[in-house]
Amino acid sequence: MTDNTDPKILLSDGELAESETPKTERSTQREEEERQYSSVIVKRVDESLRHPDDILERTIEEGQEQLNRSFLSLLISSAAASMILCFTVMAVAVMMGITQEVATSSAKFWVALVYPLGFILTILSGTQLFTEHTATAVYPVLDKRAAFPALLRLWATVILGNLIGAVIGAGFLVAADNVIQAKESYITLGHHLTDLAARDLLISSLLAGWLMALGAWLLRSSSNTVAQIVCIFIVTFLIGLGGLHHSIAGSVEILVAAMVSDHFSLFEIVRFISLALVGNLIGGSVFVGALNYTHIRRTQ
């Protein structure tokens, strides 16, 4: 049997002589590349950043991006968010009409089941809800990467945009009520917002803000769209099930109710929106923003 391997020549110093095989053009190019470039090992990093340190760093960076956005960009994005959120109000009102003959406990479950729909559309669309920024935009300030006035500017802009969008969204729902046919449900929703004592409304809004900010945190730890939808659904389902008060969804509800009925005064509208915003802000910035930042930084 013939051995096709190249013969090896041993030199006097014990090293093998180089093969006499002529070099190809590609081998010459490879040697040149090896001289010019260093070899590296590329390690795949999982897209899901599950460790709290990584989630915090990622959230701080996202918060900085939002703080640096222009006024007009934030205003348009936040107006679009509450306009999309009007579909939650529509879904809830329609479901209330469908289940009005059902036992109260069962009806509450079915209403809570459709409550997340508008939130899923809003959050996945990348538009800006105030309740997402009660914590997210706080992290860069706590980490001293942004100034407090920038945070106030962001909150004021997003609230303004959300309220403008709420008026527009409510107007669309009223204009379409001959098709939707949910006028009585809108009025019922309005009374759910105005008939509570200030203390009860504030605590309810605090819990809703806590849940929404927690949902925003969980979104940063989710690796794909399905996981994000599940996070949004769980959080907003709990808000709907508990009858808790979300300031922006509630703004659409109270504005629709005021447009279709004369039961609601301007004072009641302003009272609800103000208390709900304050409660959402405390729940998100304190119970999620400050606590998350403190316990994670303390363990580093």
**What domains sit in the chain, N to C, each tagged with a CATH number?**
52-298 (1.20.1080.10)
Please list the residues that pair with 16 across neighbouring strands. Answer: 10
Separation CA 63–CA 145 (nearest Å):
10
User: Residue 43: what pLDDT?
Assistant: 43
Give every residue of the chain whose pLDDT is below 50, as ranges.
41-45, 48-49
CA angle 204, 206, 212 (to 5 degrees): 105
Average pLDDT, the chain: 88
- In the numeric block, the tokens 């920038």 are attached to 150
User: Residue 41: what pLDDT?
Assistant: 46
Closest CA to 155 of 168, 144, 169, 141: 141
Separation CA 248–CA 162 (nearest Å):
7
User: Residue 27: what pLDDT?
Assistant: 63
133-148 pLDDT, tens digit per residue, is 889 999 999 999 999 9
DSSP 244: -
CB-based contact 186:86 (threshold 8 Å) = no
194-206 pLDDT, tens digit per residue, is 999 999 999 999 9
User: Residue 42: what pLDDT?
Assistant: 45
Separation CA 180–CA 61 (nearest Å):
42
Handedness of CA 213, 215, 218, 222 (dihedral sign): negative
- 156: phi > 0 → left, psi -120 to 50 → alpha, else beta; which? alpha
Separation CA 113–CA 253 (nearest Å):
17
Tell the burial category of 220 from Cβ atoms under 10 Å away from its Cβ (0-12, 13-18, 19+). Answer: buried
R_g over Cα of the chain: 29
206-222 pLDDT, tens digit per residue, is 999 999 999 999 998 88
Of all helices (H) and strands (E), which one includes residue 17?
none
User: Residue 268: what pLDDT?
Assistant: 97
Of all helices (H) and strands (E), which one includes residue 253?
helix 247-260
Joined tokens for residue 114: 């459709």
- In the numeric block, the tokens 């006097």 are attached to 12
Helix, strand or coil for residue 13?
coil
Tell me how far CA of residue 30 lies from CA of 26, 37, 160, 260, 290, in angstroms.
6, 10, 61, 77, 55
Joined tokens for residue 198: 């200030």
